[in-house]
Amino acid sequence: MNERGAYQKKAQNIENVHARLNFLINGIKAPLSVEKAVYSKLAGQRTFASLNLPKLKITPLSLNTLKKLADELFVDQDGNGNKGFAYLNTLRLQLILSLSEAAARRTVEVKTGRAASKTDGLTAQLAASEAQSIKRLKAYLSLYQNINGLIKSGSLQTEARERLYRILENHHAAFSNLLEPNNESIIGVKFTVPKLHEARKPK
């Protein structure tokens, strides 16, 4: 390779190393932007040197070339006293940690979202069940009140009224616990059992 070719190659390699630096810094800031296919390439120094992301102007380098250029380019120490390849390698490790933390947060968010969705579904089912129960209770009370009205009216014979009364009385004894005051307030209907003298002594 002639001198001009060697100069161009080194310039490309320098651009490659700077691109890796930008990739690491941006990845640490926004780990979710890093493609999952890249994760394995960050596991070691050699795999990081073989990283190939043409869109980011990152192409494979030998580890020795990467170390040599990083030592030439990054001569200023960072806040932890790292410089050269040590600085670049520290950023690689920080990115791995950022990706791990982001994955953990995402897992928690997914689980939380699933739990919230499940809770919403159960709440909706409960609301639908309660609404259906109220409709059934209203239908029952409507029938009950109609029978009650027949007992109190003078249109039926005494024997028939008394038989209806006993049916309602027995039914009330068996199922009155279903007609709590709270249910009455919800459906807006006052539940009453016909009085014995009203049932047995028609006017």
Q: Is the pLDDT assigned to residue 161 strictly greater than 70?
A: yes
- pLDDT band for 200, please (50, 70, 90 cuts): very low
Strand partners, 58: 53
Distance CA 87, CA 79 (A): 10
What tens digit of pLDDT does each residue of 185-197 get?
Answer: 444 545 555 554 4
Strand partners, 53: 58
Decide if 36 contacts 99 (C-beta within 8 A).
no
Distance CA 129, CA 194 (A): 30
Write down the pTM of the prediction.
Answer: 0.51
What tens digit of pLDDT does each residue of 43-64 get?
Answer: 999 999 999 999 999 999 999 9
Distance CA 122, CA 168 (A): 36
Q: Is the pLDDT assigned to residue 198 strictly greater than 50?
A: no
